[in-house]
Amino acid sequence: MVSDFKNKYGEWALITGASSGIGKALAIEIAQKGLNLVLVGRRQVELEELAREIQNKYKVSTKVLLADLSCQTGINAVISGTQQIDIGLLVLSAGIENNGAFVKNNLEKELQVIELNIVSCLKLTHHFIKQMERQKKGGVLFVSSLTAHIPSPYFSNYAATKSYIFSLATSLYGELKSKNVDISVLSPGVTDTPMSENIGIDWSKTPVMTMSAEDVAKEAIQNFGKKLLIIPGKRNRILAFIAKKFLSYTTLALSNQKMMQKAINPVKL
Ligand SMILES: NC(=O)c1ccc[n+]([C@@H]2O[C@H](COP(=O)([O-])OP(=O)(O)OC[C@H]3O[C@@H](n4cnc5c(N)ncnc54)[C@H](OP(=O)(O)O)[C@@H]3O)[C@@H](O)[C@H]2O)c1
């Protein structure tokens, strides 16, 4: 039986950041729906291992594309590598973080965060959405973060990139709803992946509760195309709700600064 997902989004999905964490978990969820996958990232061994696992378990086809998405060469590699493939579902999970006092952070590193978290998503969306719009069929899952909704001192530039993604997604939803192209934006809280480990933050000193990448991905795919904003985890949804309804930006910015100051490695302040 052809799954609803396949009816709606066709044969192929493309997932960036598929070698690890949330992107990898999303790839597995989508393979379970019977879609073939283009897996994008820089790490060949991890991507090929995932491709083999997915092919054996879910009997779908896979294609690995090695690309550094923070530069135009990598974007070109994705575009040329998918010329013969009709991508009906685009999942943009590749991302990096950078934390620490903004004034001390390396500007080059902050610009790299913008290149990957913003520019690559803009370029890939602009490319793949054209065909979806023409065919009146398709979907894009953007990966933002709770930091897009709540001021996040010491993650200032990273949080700003995630706000861009949230804003792009919500506006595109308006443009593309009538064209039958589904847009959802996933805003996870802290998730147990390499991105949140060993980054100089002691999460145990915050009230943050982490989720597994698998649980985040499950909620994302269950709600994709049904909800515009997907915040995985009840606790994260309550947090976002309270922040939006009851607290001012100044209160949130100042209280989060106090909280993170205790959790961040002091050399970064
Ligand atoms: N973990 C969290 O707490 C959390 C919370 C909210 C939102 N998010 C968002 O979730 C997304 C996935 O993060 P994650 O937690 O799953 O982190 P992760 O496990 O570190 O995965 C990051 C992925 O991005 C890819 N990537 C990094 N630099 C790249 C580049 N230059 N070109 C191409 N691919 C690149 C990596 O693949 P290669 O190394 O193979 O290139 C990897 O697959 C990110 O957008 C992140 O902002 C994460």
Nearest to 161 by CA among 217, 99, 243, 216: 99
Ligand 1 atom 24, closest CA = 94
CA of 16 to the centre of ligand 1 (A): 9
What is the 8-class DSSP label of residue 17? T
Q: Domains of the chain, with CATH numbers?
A: 4-268 (3.40.50.720)
Which of 96, 117, 210 to probe ligand 1 with, by most ligand atoms within 8 A of CB? 96
Q: Which residue has the tokens 């991105």?
A: 195
Could you tell me the distance, in angstroms and rounded to a whole number, from the CA of residue 248 to the centre of ligand 1? 30
Please provide the DSSP assignment of 71-119 as one string.
Answer: SHHHHHHHHHHTTTS-EEEEEE-------S-TTTS-HHHHHHHHIIIII
Tens place of pLDDT per residue across the chain (269 aa)? 667 899 999 999 999 999 999 999 999 999 999 999 999 999 999 999 999 999 999 999 999 999 999 999 999 999 999 999 999 999 999 999 999 999 999 999 999 999 999 999 999 999 999 999 999 999 999 999 999 999 999 999 999 999 999 999 999 999 999 999 999 999 999 999 999 999 999 999 998 889 999 999 999 999 999 999 999 999 999 999 999 999 999 999 999 999 999 999 999 99
